[in-house]
Amino acid sequence: MAGERLLSESSCRASKAKESIYYINDGAGLRLRIRPNGSKNWIFRYRLNAKERNVGLGSYPKTTLAIARSKADECREMIEEGKNPSTERKLKRARLIEKEAHTFGSIAHEWISHNKEYWSKKHLKRNEGLLKLYLLPNLGRLPIHEIEEHFLFTVLKPVYDSGRKESARRSRSIAAAIFSFAKDTHRCNSNPAKDLGENSYFKKPKVIHLAALSQSEVAPLLEELAKTGNHQRLKPQNVCALLVALYTGLRDHAIRGATWGEIDLEGGIWVVPGSRMKSGRKHLIPLPSQAIKALNRLKPMTFRGAESFVFTANTQAGYIAENTLRLALHRLGFKVTVHGFRSLMTDVLNENGFNSDAIERQLDHQQQNQVRRAYLRSDFWLERKEMLQWYADWCCGAKSAARSNGLETVQATR
């Protein structure tokens, strides 16, 4: 127990700053330090191993006299046990920092930082969005090793029940990746989100295949896109983007962010960087004459240098938005998606005997057979060049499109 108490709350409040630091004592090692700037701090003085030491107990008045006395009593108990109060306080602070570093939120942000250079901008944005909306509000401040499967279920069930079924499933998948990252970095021992993946409550939504443009709709679409002046309902950038999508089979995302520096109109080559390809690989596209003609028409309107966007728009990114081309097709009366152009290309080229490997390479599909993937390294450049020109001619209504494949010639009409 401490000896006689010398201070009171009123005497602590009444203490004024002086030209130099001074102390007012409460007894038994506890005293209040007053600095020239008026700040006041509690200091506990003690001796340990024949040395005089100090430990701070907090600022006044945030730390009241009563609280300071209680903290001083705790320090005296530590000293009786042979512990150093200053060291114990540092250890306590270190444990608190470690605990904060082991929360779901801190590990989630670390997981994002660790992986974002390997993700596309779209993938990063989706992961950050799902975290912010569905996971961090309830899980962010919790120690990750204390989160159990039943609690994670109560977090995701309302999301699923509200009709956002795919968001709930993707959020669970993200949570599983974060728990896996925490396990790999030795900050938790289990993965409740992975276990939740087998929960029958979260049923997989039905796959809705993207609507494809039918072969009979190609001519009407091209007629709409060929209109000019007041008869054309779309902006030139959107008309050109749709034509390029039709003639090349590229994904919407790969097309929208194109810059003029990627495209060699004289050589008929478009080099799409891996950052905009689903596969992550750089993709060389042989441009058919129809695509080159469309791009040449657009160039005077949007070219401002090699780094300028081809399909400019008044958006934050500077180019046409994600749903622009789909909505443009709907405006023209075609209830299909740009992605559906790829299905059309696949069907037409396969029906007319083109090399399936060349078709898959043009569409940038991943070869599922790993052994075949290891040996199939050809880019099929010349074959793809002839194939895309044939296909563009087919789209434009050529009465016959022929190609040479050894001794075989395939004739096709639309």
State pLDDT tens for residues 67-102. Answer: 999 999 999 888 888 888 888 887 777 666 566 668
Taking a C-beta distance cutoff of 8 angstroms, is the pair 272, 299 a contact?
Answer: no
Ordered domains of the chain (ranges, CATH): 9-101 (3.30.160.390), 104-196 (1.10.150.130), 215-410 (1.10.443.10)
Distance CA 309, CA 258 (A): 6
Distance CA 322, CA 328 (A): 11
pTM of the complete model? 0.56
User: Which pLDDT does position 316 carry in this prediction?
Assistant: 87
Using pLDDT thresholds of 50, 70 and 90, give the confidence band for residue 367.
Answer: low
C-alpha separations of 400 from 387, 409, 412 in Å: 14, 11, 5
CA 265-411-353 angle, to 5 degrees, is 80
3-state secondary structure of 32: strand
State pLDDT tens for residues 100-146. Answer: 668 899 999 999 999 998 887 888 999 999 999 999 999 998 889 88
User: Which pLDDT does position 393 carry in this prediction?
Assistant: 95
Alpha helices (H) along 132-209: 136-139, 149-161, 165-184, 192-196
Residue with tokens 């994670």: 152
Structure tokens given for 102: 């082991």
pLDDT of residue 208 exceeding 70, the answer is no
